[in-house]
C-alpha cells in the first residue's frame, strides 16, 4: 500500500513561543486521519505545512513520495486539495464556477473546462447538496453553504491528499454528519488520503481510521480512534472529565462537566 502522505521529523516555528515539533505521520490512500486537540495546539499550522503554505525548519512533507517544497503550484494543486478553516470570498463567482476552479489544476492554461470537468463539478455540488444554489454568487450564500462549496471544490479536484481544516465548522447538525460521511466515502472509493482537523471526539471516533491527538505542537498519541480516544487522554488534552458510553457496539464520549446538575 502506498503512503500518499508522509511527514518525517517536522519542526516549524512562527518565531514566537509556539513550536510544532517531532511530527511524523504517514497516511495511506483511502485512509482518513483526524487531528484532534485543543485550540492553538497546532492543527492548522500542520495542515499548512502539508500544503506548503508554511515552510518547516526541519523535516520533510512528501506527497506520493515527493517533497511538497519541490513542487510547482500546479503539481501541488493536482496532489493536494486544501479547505481552509475560514475563507472570505472576494469575487461574486457562481458556486459552480468556484467548484469548477478545483478542476483548473487538471488543465493547461489554454484549455477551457470540458464537459467532463463540468460533470465532475456538478457531481461534487450534488454530493454536498448544493445543486439548487449552483448559479448563485458565492458572495450571496451562507457561511455553511460556502464551506460546502469549498469541500465540493476540493473533491472535484480529485487530489491524492485531501486536507480539511475543521470541515464541520459552520455546518448544521445534519450537514456535519453528511459531510463527514461523504469525506469517508470519497476517501475509500477514490483512494484519497484525508487529513482533517475536528473538535468533536465523537465525530473523530465515528469517521476516522486513525486519530492523531495533538497538544502544544506535538502529536501525543496516534492510533485507531477507539484506542486513543478515552477519558485519560481527553483529560490530558483538555483537563476535562468524561466517560465512555457504549451504544450498539459504538463508543461515545460523554462530558462530565456538570455532575452536580444532572
Ligand atoms: N500567523 C501566525 N503567527 C504567529 N503565531 C501564530 C500564527 N498562526 C497561529 N499562531 C499560533 O500558533 C499556535 C498554533 O495555532 P494553530 O492555528 O495551528 O492552532 P489550531 O490547533 O489550528 O487551533 P484552532 O483549534 O483554534 O483552530 C497558536 O498558539 C497560535 O496562536
Ligand atoms: Mg485551526
Report in angstroms the alpha-carbon separations of 9 from 68, 205, 222, 230, 259.
15, 26, 15, 27, 42
Gap between the Cα atoms of 250 and 204, Å rounded: 12
What does the pLDDT read at residue 90? 75
Determine phi and psi for 20, rounding to 5 degrees. -85, 130
CB of 132 within 6 A of ligand 1: the answer is no
Of the candidates 165, 157, 159, which has an alpha carbon nearest to the alpha carbon of residue 101?
Answer: 157
pLDDT digits (tens, 9 = 90+) for 178-211: 999 989 998 999 899 999 999 999 999 999 999 9
Cell of 65: 513520495
**Does the beta carbon of 62 sit less than 6 angstroms from any atom of ligand 1?**
no
Tell me the percentage of the chain whose pLDDT exceeds 70. Answer: 95
**pLDDT of res. 119:** 94
The DSSP string of 195-224 is: EEEES-HHHHHHH-SEEEEEETTEEEEEE-
59, 140, 128: which is closest to 99 by C-alpha? 128
Ligand nearest to the CA of 35: 1
Per residue in 58-73, pLDDT (tens digit) is 999 999 999 999 999 8
Among candidate residues 223, 227, 201, 202, the one with its CA nearest the CA of residue 212: 223
pLDDT of residue 2: 63
- DSSP annotation string for 77-112: HHHEEEE-S-----S--BHHHHHHHHHHTTS-TTPP
Name the residue of 18, 53, 214 to mutate for ligand 1: max ligand atoms within 8 A of Cβ: 18
Q: Report, as an integer, the average pLDDT of 145-168.
A: 93
Average pLDDT, rounded, for the chain: 91
* 128 contacts 148 by C-beta, under 8 angstroms: yes
Output the CA angle 28-33-39, nearest 5 degrees. 150
Q: What residues sit around ligand 2, an ion, with C-beta below 5 angstroms?
A: 43-44, 85
| 245-261: average pLDDT | 83
In three-state secondary structure terms, 2 is: coil
64: alpha, beta or left? (left if phi > 0; alpha if psi -120 to 50): left
The ligand whose atoms approach the alpha carbon of 214 most closely is 1
The crossing angle, in degrees rounded to 10, of helices 115-127 and 143-156 is 140
Residue bearing the CA closest to ligand 1, atom 18: 42
Residue with cell 461515545: 252
Q: Give pLDDT, residue 262.
A: 54
18 lines ligand 1 (CB under 6 A): yes
User: Residue range 140-159: average pLDDT?
Assistant: 90
- For the chain, domains (ranges, CATH) are 3-229 (3.40.50.300), 231-262 (no CATH)
List beta partners, residue 251: 246
157 Cβ closer than 6 Å to some ligand 1 atom: no
Ligand nearest to the CA of 200: 1
Question: Is the model's pLDDT at 112 over the cut of 90?
Answer: no
Amino acid at each position: 500500500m502506498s503512503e500518499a502522505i508522509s511527514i518525517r521529523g517536522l519542526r516549524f516555528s512562527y518565531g514566537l513561543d509556539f513550536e510544532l515539533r517531532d511530527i511524523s505521520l504517514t497516511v495511506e490512500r483511502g485512509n482518513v486521519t483526524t487531528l484532534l486537540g485543543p485550540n492553538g495546539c497546532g492543527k492548522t499550522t500542520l495542515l499548512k505545512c502539508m500544503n506548503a503554505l508554511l515552510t518547516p525548519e526541519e523535516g520533510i512533507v512528501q506527497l506520493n513520495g515527493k517533497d511538497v517544497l519541490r513542487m510547482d503550484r500546479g503539481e501541488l494543486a493536482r496532489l493536494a486539495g486544501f479547505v481552509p478553516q475560514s475563507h472570505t470570498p472576494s469575487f461574486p463567482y457562481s458556486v459552480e464556477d468556484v467548484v469548477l476552479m478545483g478542476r483548473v489544476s487538471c488543465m493547461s492554461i489554454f484549455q477551457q473546462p470540458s464537459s467532463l470537468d463540468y460533470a465532475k463539478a456538478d457531481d461534487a455540488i450534488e454530493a454536498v447538496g448544493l445543486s439548487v444554489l449552483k448559479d448563485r454568487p458565492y458572495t450571496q450564500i451562507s457561511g455553511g453553504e460556502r464551506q460546502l462549496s469549498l469541500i465540493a471544490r476540493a473533491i472535484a479536484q480529485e487530489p491524492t491528499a485531501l486536507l480539511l481544516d475543521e470541515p464541520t465548522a459552520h455546518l448544521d447538525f445534519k450537514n456535519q454528519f453528511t459531510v463527514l460521511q461523504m469525506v469517508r466515502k470519497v476517501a475509500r472509493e477514490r483512494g484519497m488520503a484525508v487529513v482533517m482537523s475536528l473538535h468533536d471526539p465523537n465525530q473523530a471516533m465515528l469517521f476516522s481510521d486513525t486519530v492523531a491527538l495533538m497538544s502544544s505542537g506535538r502529536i501525543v498519541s496516534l492510533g485507531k480512534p477507539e484506542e486513543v480516544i478515552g477519558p485519560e487522554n481527553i483529560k490530558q488534552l483538555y483537563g476535562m472529565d468524561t466517560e465512555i458510553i457504549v451504544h450498539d457496539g459504538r463508543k461515545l464520549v460523554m462530558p462530565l462537566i456538570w455532575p452536580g446538575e444532572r
